[in-house]
Amino acid sequence: MKSSLQALNDAHKSLIQTKFITTGMGCLKDHPLSFSDINTLRKKMLPDGENAKCFAECLFKKLGLMDDMGKLSSSGAKENAMHIFKDSEEHIAKVEEFVKTCSTVNAMDLNEAAMKSCDRAKHAFDCLVENAPKFGFDVNF
């Protein structure tokens, strides 16, 4: 018997959007973005520039998607997902699986001269945006 994940309902989408926006507002203080940058983010693309990458890192850390070392954390994501998906163990498990899909970015060597501290967040952003629809998490923000 094959089970299929139910799509996110409007309440879940609203909670996720609100969490992204309120958390993002806090990250704007340290990593300011232009109006144009914000519009680019809303199109699920990361704007060019260090501020945008570091904004993404800040957002991911505050949402529990990244740990303090700047690595994707499926356990942190799962913990935060429990607040949104209180009624759905299946969605919580999908969040954990979704983040694990992109955990290959954790192997990136940030000690290389060309790598900067927020570069991993850029790669994580790209991977998460690309894979979100596959897990039913295609949410606008």
Q: Which long-range contacts (CB under 8 A, 24 or more apart) does 70-73 make?
A: 70/110, 70/117, 70/118, 70/120, 70/121, 71/103, 71/105, 71/106, 71/120, 72/99, 72/102, 72/103, 72/105, 72/106, 72/124, 73/99
Comparing CA positions, the residue from 58, 67, 66 lying closest to residue 26 is 58
Which CATH architecture fits 10-135?
Orthogonal Bundle (1.10)
**Residue 21 tokens, joined:** 């926006």
Read off the pLDDT of residues 102-134 as tens digits, 9 standing for 90 and up.
988 888 876 664 456 688 999 999 998 898 888
* Residue-wise pLDDT tens digits, 60-109: 999 888 998 888 888 888 887 777 777 778 878 888 888 888 988 888 87
